[in-house]
A and B are shown apart, each in its own frame.
Chain A
């Protein structure tokens, strides 16, 4: 295979592998922008994955068109993710417990609950979801060197990847260009001021935590139903992607426009693992496995050291509970 095709293959794989992390990190940006920290992404992704697997098996068994079934699966995974996030919202916002502890508990609880559901509902260990998303080829037939490969890497993907492109724009537009987005940023920076102008801080935070959960649920479902996945449920399948998403939010400075490149950078690091071995660029898998994490640390270092403004974008009131009577 020539260099350009290797480039296309690497990039296409990076985009596909980055997508679950991208969804999850986008949701976490919304949650954190509202001033709530949710470290439970890993658990919410597991809940999304098991929901997608079980509902996918049930729906495709009814004989409905695969694409319709998959759209329903995405909706179910989003609902399941937001329900489990509701737990975090209740503990942090109504009981005003420590958000870090609650988030860690949610990560463990979500993982355990998904394992349990898997045990209860999957009687056949060899069950597999065969009807998954398929790729739409929008960029075939473009023969300009490099441009063609670049477009094919991004535009020969499945529905979830395209949905991710759209959601990046939607989330950015919502946060920075709408009145509600302004309110969202206000309750994350200065909830007292937002409250004073009539924004319902508690209700808004509830909603944004649940939206964050919905995104993580979709992120988890991508590991089951996307064209790049296998359609097999198994314990351990999220494999730390939820934790990478948390790092990604900081890396992207809470900005949706940056998080997409961060997610694909992680995707490239993951896609490199096998390709570096195949093409003989580098063959020590132990070090290759470290690349995503080394990249995280390096980028964090660089952004912190060289950023002109000292503000790295973290919402002022992140993980601080707000209570009107305690001001």
Chain B
């Protein structure tokens, strides 16, 4: 009897697996775009922003012409290769990989499948059929920093940050430069959490900052924990990834947001009509891939800040590099002489804090 029970269980499991496998096996002639995500779209953060971008791109091109095939929660190891090969076997002609750690696996696959187009987010290795793409979110952070700097009463701003890597450091620096462009007295205190996703820990970090006299909390995380903490304390916050005012409407002044469709739509179109060219895409406000969500007018203290933000946005769109000298790091050392500016390579490897940031980058 017991054996029969086990046999039955095993059969049920196999049947389940087989049924799942059948999913989406229907034949059609849509152009298939394969995507691997580091997380799942439900995280309301990084992966969510990418997912929104792909959905918008597909909608714009036409759902009858293009179809997404997605693998979620793909680890940054050999399983990335398997996930991407599975997508290619399903007929995907373009593969998008949305996390830095996929880099070496995608480079290998690009050599193995020369007639498939590959796109790697935040990487730096390109090939004939492999493009890289990333956005200058620090430009959007600069603008949100201006809002934070005009809002703070204590001149102390906090920043809950995930991992000490150049992408995060660049964001902190861009934000701080924005803060100090309108309020040279203000400082930005950085707390590392060493996690992308732990709502309780991130909220606690923000709480501790607020207790220390900080009245605006910015963040580079994948949860809304810091926003909720600011709202609970009756203070303000700056969001990231997507418009976070839906989580904390009474605290969120604005958010630095991604609009990945700006890149995805033309990239997919180019793959479809065979006009793919390998490139290293690294744009910002000018193309709209990075931008900021509408300022919460009710919460703003300085009603004139919108005009200043607009002015600066126009200047950046016109080619102004926010990392232009004279620029000092937070130990007082001169990093850039007047008139000089960081190039893209220096931006992508940035590992120092600008003047005004309180905190260190752990080694």
Contact = CB atoms under 8 A, between A and B. Distances in A.
A228 B201 CA distance: 9
Contact of B194 (A1, A122, A289): A289
Interface residues of A, number: 43
A275 B191 CA distance: 9
Interface in A264-291: 270-271, 273-275, 277-279, 283-286, 288-289
A235 B39 contact: yes
B204 A228 contact: yes
Contact of B223 (A17, A230, A271, A279): A230
B246 A126 contact: yes
Nearest to B52: A125
Given A17-B204, A229-B203, A234 B44 contact: yes
A126 to B, nearest CB: 5
Interface centre among B41, B44, B209 (most CB of A within 10 A): B44
A192 B39 CA distance: 49
B197 A236 contact: yes
Nearest to B5: A95
Contacts of A13: 204, 207-208
A283 B359 contact: yes
A229 B200 contact: yes
Interface string B202-244: 1111011101110000000011110010001000000000100
A118 B212 CA distance: 36
Contact of B212 (A233, A237, A278): A278
Contacts of A81: none
A1 B212 contact: yes
A229 B73 CA distance: 24
A278 B197 contact: no
A227 B242 CA distance: 24
A234 B223 contact: yes
Contacts of B44: 125-126, 232, 234
A277 B211 contact: no
Nearest to A223: B200
A118 B43 CA distance: 11
Interface in A195-229: 223, 227-229
B213 A237 contact: no
A234 B205 contact: no
Nearest to B246: A126
A221 to B, nearest CB: 13
A234 B209 contact: no
B13 to A, nearest CB: 12
B192 to A, nearest CB: 4
Nearest to B197: A236
B201 A232 contact: no
Contact of B211 (A1, A17, A231, A289): A1
B359 A277 contact: yes
Contacts of B276: none
Contact of A273 (B164, B203, B205, B211): B205
Interface string A119-157: 100100110100000000000000000000000000000
Nearest to A236: B197
Contacts of A125: 41-44, 48, 51
Lowest 10 CB-CB distances: which A-B pairs, in order?
A: A274-B205, A230-B199, A285-B192, A274-B208, A284-B362, A125-B42, A230-B225, A285-B194, A239-B198, A236-B197
